[in-house]
Structure 1
């Protein structure tokens, strides 16, 4: 059987199986309005970690979905110059994603079916494993809108690019990308399997630019989840947007009609930053200084001068010496919405440890991911304030960066990732 016909059969078989599971999810709300469809697509946090998250919905899964414990993130460069080949790839990827997120093999023939003389349609390392809450979320980078595919006129204004921030030391080889896919799951083998198979399907049309494994989510995206800790030992993302915050998600997360790119309505923007932590230096820093840098106590996670983690922060409180309890250069003050014209982000970051650097120091830190309605008014001003003033900068270094437009969800088995962008 020839290569083209195998691809067509792969897509048809995957879409057909995916369609069988789509009937339970009714999709009919106005894009950008998080309603029952959003909650269904998110999956309840009380669900077993082996359960599947619905693939179809108004918005892509993997954004407000209660954050899973493991990440495999990948950025791709598109190597084909043919728009129809890009569209075919996205259709094949969508069909594979619909299958894998439900605990099935990537291809219609599976890992042991099909012609013995041909490579299998699935690499096989996830055979027998449950869906494990796998979500696959795609984004389109600014470079996809160059002159290769005739998409320049559809480039959204929010994808104009990020400014250079003070102190960053970005490595081009692990930054940017035409496309990205975020795989989150409760089992690392399930997440790695998904990215491996999508890369395999894309051979000859895309190449991997870089990828990142993550563990131990550093943000909660549901009020039912406890706030996790980063590798510095502090609770991270206390003020994060949550899937239950319907009105705030509408205002701060989902791209709406009139925002300047109709194909992106119901989608979002993703900013990624790989932030290396100087772990050894931090570990020799006193508790008092650590807490002053974050502006929170390390145990409970409460803001300094407060009792509980979620107490509303009063930045005017002063200590016995008359000085503000939360310093002007404390991380929590600089990042707080009240000091950034109300700007909020939905964060889905993960810890990473990539071995050591050859000098006995851990190559470790935070792979930061934040979704938002417009990075120009949300991430950019917040990060600029942090880059200029945050006392935490002594202990961290930003080494990679990415910006992606994340399209709305796939409505049904006849739809695919980016269809509104690529089709007239």
Structure 2
């Protein structure tokens, strides 16, 4: 895939117009400035800035400049615009669903494992936890981008409401239905809700249950001749269950993202809530009741379950086309980010999992997980079993559009406009066309 095809593919994939990017100075008078474009705002932005400040204070040759470029989509498209203008940032944060598109664009980035080797910095995929390492690795198991803000879905539960109904946090989806009925009988308005339904209820559902989401090992093996498997029996049955539970008042659909789902849990309306482990801060700040964190439920009818989850979030990509004297500083900064001290700070402040084993080890040694046992759930899910070729993640082209299709069809099923089978057949039909188009242009 050449650069022009890459740029065209990204534009279509993200359905976003290119933003104009001003030209920035590549060098400072005293220090070499390294542009770090990211999508971290609010408290997360402050935490990123703190980490950047710590790195800048640790040496006097380089100055990392953290630049918020808006949403994940905006950040990636701004980087592409700058790449076209031959003035790319040094490092860009790319969300998980942009991984396949980036990997197919071999002329646009420097694989992080190659950069570290060239700069003589010890670096290995084995330094990172399973789930984070596997998602951003190539076919040879080497990291092409640096895992950064990584999370995985967990089950938050209201201890008071579950105690009132006499139920424990469900381990399986079958138990979820039973618990929901008991909660309803106890006067609870809603058994459970879910943030990011396309990610939690389909992508991570597939991984945790040990079933493929698509052929070609979910895109890890090849981008050619890929077909979605979302109209297979386990997915159709899951949608049918969600539809029935919605009718029974056990499940409450809250739309895309977490904007509406989190308040349903924090207000006490829904007794349970499935979302990213990184939602901990929002739950901790908003819930006025004791809550716990448990693993995602799995399908007890599947012998493959539970298997492992994979990370959501984003990774850091090193761009080609920047000044040669920037790359040593980029490598030092990425090494700093993966250090035990930085990962420990990052995990405690944000709710994201520590992506390095050193960071995880330091948190254990500090007693963090003894004081915060819920924080360990995400790590246990990611490392529950060694990933199979099709549970390393879902790395397909046009994933934003596939997610949109899933949400639209799920909503039709919940509204009674389609059966579960019809909805998932439509997802597959639309998705396979997109995947065929991506396979033709990716060259892999």
TM-score by length of structure 2 reads 0.24
Which structure: greater strand fraction? 1
Which structure: greater helix fraction? 2
TM-score by length of structure 1 reads 0.25
